[in-house]
């Protein structure tokens, strides 16, 4: 259940719905080559090196602390690039919520940008007060904003097909197998990103009575639930919203409009928008302080400058939250620059996917390397199959990460991202600049650690 809660998000459904029935193929492939491999290797690493720090500890054990710091920084940048995307989803839900009073806001760039900044900085300042002050928001949001709308959209989708209503997609073997072209497969990296986060459960694996037996069972159940919910939710949107009309931000509301129009209940659309808004606010609140606080483990090893190490009386890393909000604000400018909300949303999703596959690539390499370097270290759970098993699992994961990294730079045919060169340069420059920062910090640490730790 920890795994399911960490991964399932309604925000990702419209993106995968762009593939129609072929989304089933991509979900299954993503599970086989990415989701299950990362779950297996992180379980082995978490039981062998259960100290706080996650991939920082694992990669540091394998290749040294500078590499561990870089991998953890990639995980932090993943969440920072993700923030503007979920903030845009929040703005879209708010626009649909108040559409009866203020129509047309769903097309306003200024409205999106303003709401994104208010929510982001509001969540940042709220978390300054400590986890106890803001924690109840997350609990309420998961129930109201994810479980209720998720169950409703799946139920309506199943009913729509069962009673024989016309569908916007075909359910056939030909439709199941996608068209293997780079410009149509690029959204696959977004599906990989949507399945990230399974390592959260690996941190609790030592609490299992028999990790070697129980964890694979739990993983199988979690994988089945995640795939079932993701696939059914995706198809529920795809059956009623034509592929060419799906909005990556408002696809969920588009589907609800079709369903509720059939029952003459359009008044319920703002209610669902409110629930989705609550869910996205909960997600933002949960992830605002978590990754930033996780990076604080590197402060003990001298990787962070003084302004990033500042902590207030509530134990909140205020310096890192302010830096996080500042970078997120700059990335949010893409919504003012690009003509299409969906295209802007995809650019931020693509950037987040780049950081995601890089950090997981380091984890796969660390798992493989440590199987030989630290072969005698006790691991209550090991990837099945001995050394051949770790090679197979890590190899599949690394190839998936490499493919996900490279294909992101191909503009998707489903979206108008503008000039191809500008799109690629924007992604490359953003990734390079944000990746150079940890390298410079690690270099400065080596050159002047006494000044750094002052």
Q: Max Cα separation, the chain?
A: 72
Q: What share of the chain is helix, strand, coil (3-state, %, to 5)?
A: 75, 0, 25
Q: Is the confidence at residue 313, as pLDDT, over 60? A: yes
pLDDT for the residue numbered 244: 84
What integer best gives the mean pLDDT of the chain?
Answer: 84
Say how far residue 125 (Cα) sits from the centre of its chain.
23
Helices (H), 374-385: none
Say how far residue 147 (Cα) sits from the centre of its chain.
18
Q: Is the confidence at residue 57, as pLDDT, over 80? A: yes
Joined tokens for residue 301: 């090893």
Q: Is the confidence at residue 183, as pLDDT, over 80? A: no
pLDDT for the residue numbered 159: 95
Joined tokens for residue 183: 């410009």
- Find the mean pLDDT for residues 391-396: 95
Please, are residues 286 and 9 in contact by the beta-carbon 8 Å criterion? Answer: no
Q: Is the confidence at residue 133, as pLDDT, over 50? A: no
Q: What is the DSSP letter of 301?
A: G
Full DSSP string of 393-448: HHHHHHHHHHHHHHHTTSPPTTS--S-HHHHHHHHHHHHHHHHHHHHHHHHHHHH-
CATH code: domain of residue 433:
1.20.1740.10
Please, are residues 127 and 288 in contact by the beta-carbon 8 Å criterion? Answer: yes
Q: Is the confidence at residue 137, as pLDDT, over 70? A: no
- Find the mean pLDDT for residues 252-278: 89
pLDDT tens column, 115-124: 999 999 988 8
pLDDT for the residue numbered 454: 47
What CA–CA distance (Å, rounded) separates 419 from 426? 11
- At 173, the pLDDT band (50, 70, 90 cuts) reads confident
Joined tokens for residue 2: 């920890």
- CA angle, 397 as apex, 391 and 401 as ends, to 5°? 140
Q: Is the confidence at residue 44, as pLDDT, over 70? A: yes
Q: What percent of the chain has pLDDT over 70?
A: 91
- At 298, the pLDDT band (50, 70, 90 cuts) reads confident
- At 431, the pLDDT band (50, 70, 90 cuts) reads very high
> What is the domain extent for residue 134?
2-452
Three-state SS for 100? coil
What CA–CA distance (Å, rounded) separates 123 from 141? 14
What CA–CA distance (Å, rounded) separates 63 from 23? 37
Which of 308, 334, 307 lies closest to 429, judged by CA?
334
Tokens 């950081």 correspond to what residue? 355
pLDDT for the residue numbered 158: 94
Q: Is the confidence at residue 448, as pLDDT, over 60? A: no
pLDDT for the residue numbered 451: 45
pLDDT for the residue numbered 142: 64
Domain count, the chain: 1
For the four alpha carbons of 1, 354, 366 and 384, in that order, the dihedral sign comes to positive
């Amino acid at each position: 259940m920890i795994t399911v809660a960490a991964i399932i998000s309604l925000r990702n459904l419209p993106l995968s719905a762009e593939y129609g029935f072929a989304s089933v193929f991509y979900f299954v492939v993503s599970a086989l080559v990415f989701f299950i491999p990362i779950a297996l290797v992180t379980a082995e690493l978490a039981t062998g090196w259960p100290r706080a720090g996650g991939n920082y500890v694992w990669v540091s054990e394998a290749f040294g602390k500078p590499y561990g710091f870089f991998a953890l920084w990639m995980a932090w940048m993943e969440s920072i690039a993700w923030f503007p995307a979920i903030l845009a989803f929040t703005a879209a839900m708010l626009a649909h919520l108040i559409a009866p009073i203020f129509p047309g806001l769903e097309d306003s760039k200024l409205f999106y940008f303003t709401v994104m900044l208010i929510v982001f900085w509001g969540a940042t300042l709220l978390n300054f007060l400590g986890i106890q002050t803001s924690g109840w928001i997350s609990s309420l949001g998961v129930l109201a904003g994810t479980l209720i709308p998720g169950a409703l959209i799946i139920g309506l989708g199943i009913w729509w097909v069962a009673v024989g209503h016309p569908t916007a997609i075909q359910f056939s073997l030909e439709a199941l197998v996608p068209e293997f072209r780079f410009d149509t497969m690029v959204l696959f990296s977004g599906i990989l990103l949507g399945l990230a986060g399974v390592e959260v459960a690996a941190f609790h694996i030592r609490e299992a009575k028999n990790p070697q037996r129980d964890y694979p069972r739990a993983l199988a159940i979690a994988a089945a639930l995640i795939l079932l919910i993701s696939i059914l939710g995706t198809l529920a949107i795809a059956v009623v919203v034509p592929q060419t009309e799906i909005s990556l931000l408002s696809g969920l509301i588009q589907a609800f409009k079709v369903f509720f129009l059939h029952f003459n209940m359009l008044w319920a659309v703002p209610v669902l928008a409110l629930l989705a808004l609550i869910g996205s606010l909960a997600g933002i609140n949960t992830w605002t302080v978590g990754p930033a606080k996780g990076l604080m483990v590197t402060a003990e090893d001298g990787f962070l400058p003084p302004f990033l190490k500042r902590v207030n009386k509530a134990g909140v890393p205020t310096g890192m939250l302010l830096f996080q909000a500042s970078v997120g604000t700059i990335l949010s400018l893409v919504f003012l620059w690009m003509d299409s909300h969906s295209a802007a949303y995809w650019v931020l999703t693509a950037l987040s996917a780049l950081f995601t596959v890089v950090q997981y690539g380091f984890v796969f390499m660390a798992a493989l390397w440590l199987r030989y370097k630290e072969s005698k270290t006790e691991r209550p759970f090991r990837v099945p199959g001995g050394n051949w098993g770790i090679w197979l699992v890590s190899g599949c994961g690394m190839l998936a990460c490499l493919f996900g990294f490279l294909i992101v730079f191909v503009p998707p045919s489903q979206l108008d991202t503008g000039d191809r060169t500008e799109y690629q340069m924007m992604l490359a420059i953003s990734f390079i600049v944000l990746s150079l920062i940890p390298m410079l910090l690690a270099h400065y640490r080596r050159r002047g650690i006494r000044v750094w730790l002052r």
